[in-house]
Amino acid sequence: MIEWSEQHQMIRDAVRRFMEAEIEPNLEELEHGDTPPYDVLRKMFQTFGMDEMARSRFAKQLEGAGEKKEGESGGRGDAVAMQLIPIIELCRYCPGMVTAMGVSVGLTAGAILSKGTRAQKERWALDLLTLDKVGSWAITEPDSGSDAFGSMKSTARRDGDDGYVLNGSKTFITNGPHADTIVFICKLEEDGVAPADRKVLDFVLDRGMEGLTQSKPMRKMGLHSSPTGELFLQDVKVGRDRLLGETEEKGARSGAKGTFSIERAGVAAMSLGIVERCLELSLAYARERVQFGRPIGEFQLIQDKLARMEVARMNLQNLVFRQVEMAEAGRSTTLAEASAMKLYAARAANEVALEAVQIYGGNGYMSEYRVEQLARDAKVLQIYAGTDEIQISAIARSLLAG
Ligand SMILES: Cc1cc2nc3c(=O)[nH]c(=O)nc-3n(C[C@H](O)[C@H](O)[C@H](O)COP(=O)(O)OP(=O)(O)OC[C@H]3O[C@@H](n4cnc5c(N)ncnc54)[C@H](O)[C@@H]3O)c2cc1C
């Protein structure tokens, strides 16, 4: 694949028109007001039939297409393109909205779909896939970030034959303040088993359960359209029906690799949106801003920045096309490949966005010119879904093992 097909381009243009009509005029409110992103996202889902597509994919999945082997599940290129195009287009204006959407649809519903029983999927996953409900996926804790499993303190204590009592606190949780459905990841209290070796389990919680507190949104550097919060659990009683898979044997460690791969690969599409927009804005400014009697685009140092932005854009687009091609061929991304994509993409988005600020000079530092927001938003790509340093170790470990 060397470019978007005509059909992809038509969809992209329609999505872009939606962004220009629905998001761009409301950016101030979404970024700095108290408007959560969910209603606009729902409108986007309805406008482009993404909710209907989610329903039909869900129905097919339940019908039990079954476990497919590598290569057998091909022909999904268009479906993946349809998921990536809105991500790219949203990120041109509002990367936070992608985070809010991705965590709900990709991570929370994804975890339930990959490990839940049929009853659990029907109970929670569909409403998340259509964005009728908002989801959170909670692994990070105040003392456990990169070493998510090793330092985890949240616990599940067995309670009678069929229940558990959950305790712990989570932080930096996307959608945490508004989530209706939460996947809470914790360790099983087991006598005689060292904490590091204890089973890691995931439970599904509903907003309003006794003992569950969801904080207000935390204040942060950027990504303001994605609410981030803390969760506190004090003796939350749950039945086995809330344990994903309804068995302690389907631990969270096993599914985590798949989850990490999905979110890491998604960062390439996010970065492409940021880079495309920064390049467009930079080109426009380089043409119109005159200093020393010439448009600044005539200065070689500015040209160097523009050229590097174009190189990053081409590379990111190729990474996105690669994902579409792989889905078409029925291949999935390995964790190391996804880590390599994320590392490159996050760094590229940050370099490009900061250079865009530089091209704009003092205006670049002002919120009125959009590059300031994109630069603040891009930073998180090097932190969440595994920091740059963690991607580097994942890539190197895989190379050395190979
Ligand atoms: C906006 C936002 C949204 C988020 N959303 C969610 C969410 O929805 N759900 C969720 O569970 N979490 C979420 N997170 C948490 C995120 O995944 C963590 O912040 C991230 O994994 C890093 O963990 P930490 O913040 O504890 O940093 P730490 O792990 O404390 O790292 C601090 C520094 O040390 C470095 N470091 C750590 N270990 C190593 C090592 N072995 N080698 C080299 N360097 C190392 C790190 O790279 C980093 O530079 C979110 C975070 C943010 C900022």
| Ligand 1 center–CA 78 separation, angstroms | 33
Residues 6+ apart with CB under 8 A from 36: 100, 178, 227
Beta strand 155-159 pairing with 181-188: parallel
Atom of ligand 1 nearest to the CA of 388: 47
Q: What are phi and psi of 165, to 5 degrees?
A: -120, 125
What's the number of CA atoms in the CB half-sphere (13 Å) around residue 238? 29
| Ligand 1 center–CA 330 separation, angstroms | 31
Backbone Cα Rg of the chain: 22
Residue with tokens 């190729």: 318
Burial class (CB in 10 A: 0-12, 13-18, 19+), 7: exposed
Measured distance CA(227)–CA(110) in Å, rounded = 20
| Ligand 1 center–CA 147 separation, angstroms | 8
- Dihedral of CA atoms 325, 327, 330, 335 in degrees, nearest 10, equals 100
Question: Which of 41, 45, 44 shows the shortest CA–CA distance to 55?
Answer: 45
| Ligand 1 center–CA 203 separation, angstroms | 22
* Ligand 1 pocket test target in 172, 267, 376 with most atoms within 8 Å of CB: 172
**Element counts in the chain: helices (H) and strands (E):** 14, 9
* Ligand 1 pocket test target in 147, 186, 387, 392 with most atoms within 8 Å of CB: 387
| Ligand 1 center–CA 141 separation, angstroms | 10
Residue with tokens 């009125």: 368
Q: What are phi and psi of 3, to 5 degrees?
A: -155, 165
- What is the model's pLDDT at position 72? 57
Q: Which residue puts its alpha carbon closest to atom 27 of ligand 1?
A: 145
Measured distance CA(186)–CA(166) in Å, rounded = 8
| Ligand 1 center–CA 81 separation, angstroms | 29
pLDDT tens across the length of the chain (402 residues): 889 999 999 999 999 999 999 998 999 898 887 789 999 999 999 999 999 999 998 998 888 754 455 555 678 899 899 889 999 999 999 999 999 999 999 999 999 999 999 999 999 999 999 999 999 999 999 999 999 999 999 999 999 989 999 999 999 999 999 999 999 999 999 989 988 889 999 999 999 999 999 999 999 999 999 999 999 999 999 999 999 999 998 766 666 677 777 778 789 999 999 999 999 999 999 999 999 999 999 999 999 999 999 999 999 999 999 999 999 999 988 889 999 999 999 999 999 999 999 999 999 999 999 999 999 999 999 999 999 999 999 999 999 998
Atom of ligand 1 nearest to the CA of 387: 47
Q: Which residue puts its alpha carbon closest to atom 35 of ligand 1?
A: 389
Residues 6+ apart with CB under 8 A from 153: 141, 143, 144, 168, 187
| Ligand 1 center–CA 140 separation, angstroms | 8
Atom of ligand 1 nearest to the CA of 175: 8
| Ligand 1 center–CA 183 separation, angstroms | 18
3-state secondary structure of 71: coil
Domains of the chain: 6-133 (1.10.540.10), 136-252 (2.40.110.10), 254-401 (1.20.140.10)
DSSP string, 99-144: HHHIIIIIIIHHHHHHH--HHHIIIIIHHHHTTSS-EEEE--BTTB
Atom of ligand 1 nearest to the CA of 185: 11
Q: Which residue puts its alpha carbon closest to atom 37 of ligand 1?
A: 146
Beta strand 135-138 pairing with 181-188: parallel
Considering the candidates 89, 263, 337, 355, report the single residue annotated as catalytic.
Answer: 263
Please answer whether residues 327 and 284 qualify as being in contact, where contact means their C-beta atoms are separated by less than 8 angstroms.
Answer: no
- What is the model's pLDDT at position 254? 63
* Ligand 1 pocket test target in 128, 152, 384, 397 with most atoms within 8 Å of CB: 384
The yes-or-no answer on residue 263 being catalytic is yes
- Ligand 1 site residues, Cβ closer than 6 angstroms: 103, 137-140, 145-146, 172-174, 223, 228, 380, 383-384, 386-387, 389-390, 393
Atom of ligand 1 nearest to the CA of 147: 29
Question: Which of 198, 197, 202, 175 shows the shortest CA–CA distance to 188?
Answer: 198
280-287's contacts with Cβ under 8 Å and 24+ in sequence apart are 281/356, 281/360, 281/369, 281/370, 281/371, 282/306, 282/309, 282/355, 282/356, 282/359, 282/360, 282/371, 285/359, 285/360, 285/363, 286/359
- What is the model's pLDDT at position 376? 97
Q: Which residue puts its alpha carbon closest to atom 12 of ligand 1?
A: 140
pTM of the model: 0.95
DSSP state, residue 333: -
Q: Which residue puts its alpha carbon closest to atom 44 of ligand 1?
A: 389
Q: Which residue puts its alpha carbon closest to atom 42 of ligand 1?
A: 389
